[in-house]
Amino acid sequence: MNNEVVVTGLGILVPDCDDKQALWVKALTPQACGQFNEDLQGHVAAIDDHQLFSGLSKRQIRKIDSFSHFGLIAAERALQDADLVPETVDRQRMGVLVGNCFGGWAFTERELRHLHKSEGTSRDVSPFQATAWFPAAVQGQISLQYGLKGFSKTIMADRASSLISVGMAANLIAQGKLDCALAGGCEAINTDFILAALQGAPEGISPTGHYAPFDKQANGMVPGEGAVFLLLESVEHAQARGKVPYAQIKRWSMRNDPTCSGKGLEQTMLAAAGGCPVDLLIADGAAQVLQDQQETEVIQWVLSQHTHVTAPKASVGQLFGAAGALDIALGALMIEKQMILPTAQCSAASILVNQQLIQQAEEKPLSRILINSRGLRGSAATLALSSLQ
């Protein structure tokens, strides 16, 4: 990177949390999350309708899927948190980068039911179906909402999607191609089709709501939905506005390892660390014994035994396309407050041996944090977040 890149805004919409303070409190006091779903025979952490307050009109909301609605709300909150009004910046140099896995299935399910009802025809399908379902819809909706014309992109890399979107946005700013960007991810999973697909998820769904990464008795994740967006800026752009950042993005790396051996994650961690000391790792933490064991082996190979490890997203749920952005937001808050958030639900029977898995909030000087994000078929990404130099 050439220009320094900083995080100046956090936009949060996750189950039971509508802002950074609510997210911080929830992560400080981890407990079982989600509600039991009889069809899935496991817990799901869903967005409640009362959380969907924004400046969007009812007419606009009718044209978009839930995941776009989530993304627009989180983007709006990131801008508000950063005190940035898009009309006051060069919108030719402001981009949007979005991570997503599933696209918009709530809208699609409804329209397919209209099509396949008795004597239904194509005229019964909304004309907005074509623009509502596809994963890049959120990127387009945010760009249209704020008139943004800078380089924009949608990334689909399973659970690593939004960490990669933030890393790519940071690259574009560092290379001088953008001044600032909204980067993050969104996911809406509380639909019949996606929940049916998750029934065969290899990592399993927790039947109890206890999402316990690195626990020897871990019994699966709690799938969740929502959106997290960050406003990234060059340090010069932030300084010109008088905005104090949360943290700085130092390095990041991504790999694809088709063998799913863990080699890709090892390479991304080494590249993102860049030979510098690391105070904390925010782990991917799948809460599935084999995947956690593999990540543990990589952690022990790459990091000092004195490095602390945590997986605070277990208090919220596995947000798939928004998971990496959630971890980055939590990391930025930890750097701001100089405190490590705990890993939810994990008992003393941790499979981590050399590193210390944080199970209670702990005040600690934090200069550099690594954040891991992995996909099921070998995609891996790691991002380094640091305090301001």
CB 222 within 8 A of CB 318: yes
What letter represents residue 270's amino acid? L
Whether residue 161 is found in the same domain as residue 219:
yes
SS3 357: strand
Count other C-beta atoms under 10 Å from residue 83's C-beta.
Answer: 12
Residue 294 C-beta-side C-alpha neighbours within 13 Å: 19
Whether residue 60 is found in the same domain as residue 199:
yes
Residue 8's pLDDT is what?
98
Residue 50 has which token pair? 């009362």
CA pair distance 64, 301, nearest whole angstrom: 45
Whether residue 206 is found in the same domain as residue 67:
yes
- Within 8 A by CB and 6+ apart from 313, the residues are 285, 319, 323, 326, 327, 330
CATH code, domain carrying 308: 3.40.47.10
Whether residue 273 is found in the same domain as residue 235:
no
CB 307 within 8 A of CB 278: yes
Domain final residue, candidates 220, 247, 274 = 247
Whether residue 56 is found in the same domain as residue 190:
yes
Whether residue 304 is found in the same domain as residue 271:
yes
Whether residue 59 is found in the same domain as residue 169:
yes
Going from the C-alpha of 19 to that of each of 22, 78, 111, the distances in angstroms are 6, 10, 32
Nearest to 214 by CA among 163, 281, 141: 281
Domain final residue, candidates 247, 280, 311 = 247
**pTM of the full structure:** 0.96
- Within 8 A by CB and 6+ apart from 120, the residues are 114
Residue 133 has which token pair? 């379902």
CB 141 within 8 A of CB 57: no
Residue 330's pLDDT is what?
98
Whether residue 314 is found in the same domain as residue 243:
no
Domain final residue, candidates 247, 274, 307 = 247
Whether residue 44 is found in the same domain as residue 124:
yes
CB 232 within 8 A of CB 248: no
Residue 201's pLDDT is what?
73
Number of domains the chain contains = 2
Going from the C-alpha of 227 to that of each of 18, 58, 169, 341, the distances in angstroms are 10, 20, 17, 20
Residue 349's pLDDT is what?
60
Whether residue 351 is found in the same domain as residue 365:
yes
Tell me what percent of the chain is helix, strand and coil, each rounded to the nearest 5. 35, 25, 40
Whether residue 198 is found in the same domain as residue 76:
yes
- Within 8 A by CB and 6+ apart from 133, the residues are 65, 103, 104, 105, 107, 108
Instruction: Note down the domain range covering 162.
Output: 5-247
Whether residue 156 is found in the same domain as residue 286:
no
CA pair distance 210, 344, nearest whole angstrom: 8
Written as tens digits, the pLDDT of the chain (389 aa) is 578 999 999 999 999 999 999 999 999 987 889 999 988 889 999 999 999 988 888 899 999 999 999 999 999 999 999 999 999 999 999 999 999 999 999 988 888 888 887 676 777 888 898 889 999 999 999 999 999 999 999 999 999 999 999 999 999 999 999 999 999 999 999 999 999 888 877 668 999 888 989 988 888 899 999 999 999 999 999 999 999 999 999 999 999 988 778 899 999 999 999 999 999 999 999 998 888 999 999 999 999 888 999 999 999 999 999 999 999 999 999 999 999 999 876 665 677 766 788 888 999 999 999 999 998 778 999 999 999 96
